[in-house]
């Protein structure tokens, strides 16, 4: 009977999770449409991309012909619905600068960005979770003050400043690490070569995230440590190790998951600056180039991808809530 009850509960959980995911996806559709409308309106207010072509060697007739060919002579709402119709057919448009498909450009640059984001997120978690827990358990100790000070320092240093500082120290002065790129020119670029090029970008992204996350995790664990059930566990004679690891940390997982989920969109946006500084061939470098050249189809593609990443990050966080805390129901 217990096995049948367990199987029934498992089926019920899977069904409710699937229903919840479908519901969130349906809610995300109008949100994505609203984001694309706002992004498209902001780009149109910024000016026409054909202004980059104007000059003494380019005639007005050539500019007008280019505008007609790209559909930029039509009103804003017509341009938007044309772009939206192409998107629904799987076509994200073509780059104004190099005439390549936007989808192909994003796909080719997505891998390096995901690699950089994934490693940076993993390193930040490995730094923030133990440090935050240690700081909370040893509150007001020298170790606590040291961790809190370092966390404030890590979160307050601008990413571009830390990047330039690392380049000056490890490249210019010591010559230990390459200043940019993903692989060494003239080589096949193996895993070890990529790892060496990734050290400084990962440090910049991970330090900033870890500095913020340590304070959140410390506050969450401190709040859990003040709960009555932990006092009761101590009064019953349960050892300090079991109280912390079996009871406190398990209940602190929900706020920790929240913090990690919040960092996914922040990490996606922060990688733009880091990739620009270190010439990392990812979406950030491509996005900065598109903004400089007013390559609006590419910008719209990146904005759409960013919105999807944020919504998926929130959905994943909600699902992990139910995994780490069975009392939370997905509705």
Judge whether 65 lies within some domain: no
Q: Are 184 and 127 a contacting pair, CB within 8 Å?
A: no
Measured CA to CA, the distance from residue 78 to residue 72 in angstroms comes to 10
Judge whether 74 lies within some domain: no
Render pLDDT for 137-176 as a digit per residue (tens, 0 to 9): 888 889 889 999 999 888 888 888 898 999 999 989 888 8
Of 319 and 80, more confident: 80
Q: Are 129 and 221 a contacting pair, CB within 8 Å?
A: no
Judge whether 256 lies within some domain: yes
Please compute the mean of the pLDDT values over residues 259-281 and round it to a whole number.
80
Q: In the predicted model, what is the mean pLDDT of the chain?
A: 80
Give 125's pLDDT tier (boundaries 50, 70, 90).
confident
Q: What is the pLDDT of residue 1?
A: 46
Measured CA to CA, the distance from residue 322 to residue 24 in angstroms comes to 15
Q: Are 255 and 172 a contacting pair, CB within 8 Å?
A: no
Render pLDDT for 294-315 as a digit per residue (tens, 0 to 9): 888 888 888 888 888 888 877 7
CA 297 to chain centre: 22
Measured CA to CA, the distance from residue 184 to residue 196 in angstroms comes to 10
Give 98's pLDDT tier (boundaries 50, 70, 90).
confident
Judge whether 83 lies within some domain: no
Rounded to whole angstroms, what are the CA distances from 308 to 270, 302, 305, 315?
16, 10, 5, 10
Judge whether 59 lies within some domain: no
Q: What is the pLDDT of residue 165?
A: 92
Judge whether 169 lies within some domain: yes
Give 200's pLDDT tier (boundaries 50, 70, 90).
very high
Give the tokens for residue 323: 């995994």
Name the percent of the chain lying above pLDDT 90.
6
Q: What is the pLDDT of residue 146?
A: 92
Q: What is the pLDDT of residue 324?
A: 63
Q: Spell out the long-range contacts of 51-54 with Cβ–Cβ below 8 A and sequence spacing 24 or more.
A: 51/294, 52/293, 52/294
Compute the radius of gyration of the chain from its Cα atoms.
25
Q: Are 292 and 46 a contacting pair, CB within 8 Å?
A: no
Measured CA to CA, the distance from residue 116 to residue 273 in angstroms comes to 13
Q: What is the pLDDT of residue 2?
A: 45
Please compute the mean of the pLDDT values over residues 19-42 and round it to a whole number.
83
Closest CA to 45 of 309, 289, 276, 294: 294
* Apex 142 CA angle, 141 and 144, nearest 5: 65
Tell me: pLDDT of 232 over 60: yes
Judge whether 211 lies within some domain: yes
Q: What is the pLDDT of residue 167?
A: 92
Render pLDDT for 214-224 as a digit per residue (tens, 0 to 9): 888 888 888 88
What's 144's domain CATH number?
1.10.3720.10
Give 279's pLDDT tier (boundaries 50, 70, 90).
confident
For the chain, the domain total comes to: 1
Closest CA to 45 of 71, 79, 69, 70: 79
Domain span at residue 170 reads 101-324
Give the tokens for residue 308: 């999807």
Spell out the residues 6+ positions from residue 139 whose beta carbon is closer than 8 angstroms to its own: 222
Burial pattern 181-198, b for ≥16 Cβ within 10 A else e, equals ebeeeeeeeeeebeeebb
Measured CA to CA, the distance from residue 52 to residue 43 in angstroms comes to 14
Residue given tokens 């320092």 in the structure block: 153
If you write DSSP's letter for every residue of 171-220 in order, what string do you get? IIIS--S-SS-SS-TTS---HHHHHHHHHHHHHHHHHHHHHHHHHHHHHH
Spell out the residues 6+ positions from residue 284 whose beta carbon is closer than 8 angstroms to its own: 113, 271, 272, 273, 274, 275, 276
Which one-letter DSSP state was computed for residue 50? G
Q: Spell out the long-range contacts of 73-77 with Cβ–Cβ below 8 A and sequence spacing 24 or more.
A: 76/40, 76/41, 76/44
Q: What is the pLDDT of residue 180?
A: 83
Q: What is the pLDDT of residue 85?
A: 86
Indicate yes or no: pTM above 0.85.
no
Name the percent of the chain lying above pLDDT 70.
85
Judge whether 296 lies within some domain: yes
């Amino acid at each position: 009977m217990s096995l049948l009850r367990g199987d029934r509960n498992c089926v019920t959980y899977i069904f409710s999770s699937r229903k919840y995911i479908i519901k969130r996806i349906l809610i995300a559709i109008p949100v994505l449409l609203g984001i694309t409308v706002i992004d498209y309106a902001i780009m149109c207010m910024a000016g026409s991309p054909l202004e980059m072509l104007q000059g003494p060697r380019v005639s007005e007739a050539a500019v007008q012909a280019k505008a007609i060919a790209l559909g930029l002579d039509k009103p804003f709402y017509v341009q938007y619905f044309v772009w939206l119709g192409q998107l629904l057919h799987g076509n994200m448009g073509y780059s104004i600068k190099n005439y390549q498909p936007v989808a192909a450009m994003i796909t080719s640059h997505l891998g390096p960005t995901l690699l950089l984001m994934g490693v940076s997120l993993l390193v930040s978690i490995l730094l923030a979770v133990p440090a935050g827990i240690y700081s909370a358990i040893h509150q007001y100790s020298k170790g606590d003050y040291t961790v809190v000070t370092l966390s404030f320092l890590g979160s307050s240093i601008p990413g571009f400043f830390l990047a330039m500082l690392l380049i000056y120290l490890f490249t210019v002065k010591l010559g230990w690490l390459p200043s940019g790129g993903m692989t060494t020119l003239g080589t096949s670029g193996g895993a070890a070569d990529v790892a060496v090029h990734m050290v400084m970008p990962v440090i910049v992204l991970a330090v900033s995230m870890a500095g913020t996350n340590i304070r959140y995790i410390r506050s969450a664990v401190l709040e859990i440590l003040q709960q009555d059930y932990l006092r009761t566990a101590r009064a019953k004679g349960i050892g300090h190790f079991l109280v912390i690891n079996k009871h406190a940390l398990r209940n602190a997982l929900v706020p920790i998951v929240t913090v990690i989920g919040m960092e996914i969109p922040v990490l996606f946006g922060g990688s733009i600056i880091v990739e620009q500084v270190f010439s990392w061939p990812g979406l950030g470098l491509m996005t900065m180039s598109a903004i400089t050249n007013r390559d609006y189809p590419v910008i719209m593609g990146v904005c759409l991808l960013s919105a999807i990443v944020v919504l998926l990050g929130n959905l994943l966080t909600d699902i992990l809530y139910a995994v780490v805390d069975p009392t939370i129901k997905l509705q």
